[in-house]
Amino acid sequence: MTSLPLFQRLTKCWQTSSRIIASVLKPPVKILVTGAAGQIGYAIMPMIARGQMLGPDQPVIIHMLDIPSTSEALGCLKMELIDSALPLLRGVIATTDVAQACKDVNFVIMLAGFPRKEGMERKELMSKNVAIYKAQASALEQHAAPNCKILVVANPANTNALILKEFAPSIPPKNITCLTRLDHNRALGQLSERLNVHVGDVRNVIIWGNHSSTQYPDANHAIVKTEFGEKSAKELVANDTWLKGEFISTVQQRGAVIIKARKQSSSLSAASAACDHMHDWILGTPKGTWVSMGVYSDGAYGIPAGIIYSFPVTCDKGEWSIVQGLKIDEFSRAKMEATANELVEEKNLAYSCLD
């Protein structure tokens, strides 16, 4: 039996390789990042384009949106992405036009927001952000792909997400979330440092409530993997004073400490947490593990319905579910209610800005 000519063998090999690549890689998805020219945007772009957010088999087309005064910086960021020669990156759109940015996007990372300035009243800040999120909700409502999933990062993140939900009624409420994964990761880090274990061996901390200084970092249900098996973090720490004091305040104030030290807010850790949030939401949480996400409250754990509140959740096939049946002690209940009250106040303030 004669062998095939070299050209035919090479052609057959190329066709086989192409089929393997096509079977491994998924069709590209479009990811919109608002406020893309900022510090977090600069940090998150290579993470998205390298597959840290949606996996190593998911090609992406990145849409970058920011205000007109940043158009030059957006253009430079696009050049750097192109110059990085990232295999999963199938296209980059850098624009200041919100309709173009929102066109057919599947996932949205909302970094854009009006920062609080010295002397600014709380209602003035809320009014600025309500206007931004009302306008962007309208654009997403008109132009985004059906079933697009949205993560709000810009503060006040919980209430910005709520405004987005109000003005994008065709987007399911379960598809609009806010970032508390940064606080969750900070809590994991604090426990790993305290116990001198790898952070990957700690799981199931909880951030309850608002992404603010009233948030409640809860280690009561956290688990640590040790050489003797899985143990309760609370039992290993064996110091309720630290768990109810320094642990909570360190996580709550970590952002302020970073701002004081570097004169800017967290960017690398925030970008990483946003990728973690989307990764677990879309690809699923490991069995026996939950994460913290700001989601639309349905009244679970006695938290008022109709606010965006951080709960422990598990994720599967792009859907999140609140972990049910956790035991809540009196200390935790008081902390959970305090941060819920703040969110209700923020909601009322935001709605007064709409009036």
Catalytic residues: 211
Q: Is 40 a known ligand-binding residue?
A: yes
Q: Is 38 a known ligand-binding residue?
A: yes
Task: Confirm if 109 and 47 have CB atoms less than 8 A apart.
Answer: no
CA distance 315 to 338: 27
Task: Confirm if 32 and 152 have CB atoms less than 8 A apart.
Answer: no
Which class for 85: exposed (0-12), middle (13-18), buried (19 or more C-beta within 10 A)? exposed
Q: Is 130 a known ligand-binding residue?
A: no
Task: Confirm if 64 and 93 have CB atoms less than 8 A apart.
Answer: yes
Q: Which residue has the tokens 């104030």?
A: 253
Q: Is 37 a known ligand-binding residue?
A: yes
Q: Is 39 a known ligand-binding residue?
A: yes
Q: Is 66 a known ligand-binding residue?
A: yes
Q: What is the DSSP string of 118-161?
A: TT--HHHHHHHHHHHHHHHHHHHHHHSPTT-EEEE-SSSHHHHH
Q: Is 147 a known ligand-binding residue?
A: no
Q: Is 41 a known ligand-binding residue?
A: yes
Element (H, E) at 45: helix 39-49
- Contact residues for 268 (Cβ-Cβ < 8 A; gap 6+): 43
- Contact residues for 226 (Cβ-Cβ < 8 A; gap 6+): 197, 201, 236
Q: Is 254 a known ligand-binding residue?
A: no
Q: Is 153 a known ligand-binding residue?
A: yes
Q: Is 233 a known ligand-binding residue?
A: no
Q: Is 129 a known ligand-binding residue?
A: yes
Which residues are part of a known binding site?
35-41, 66, 116, 122, 129, 153-155, 186
Which residues are part of a known binding site for substrate?
116, 122, 155, 186
Which residues are part of a known binding site for NAD(+)?
35-41, 66, 129, 153-155
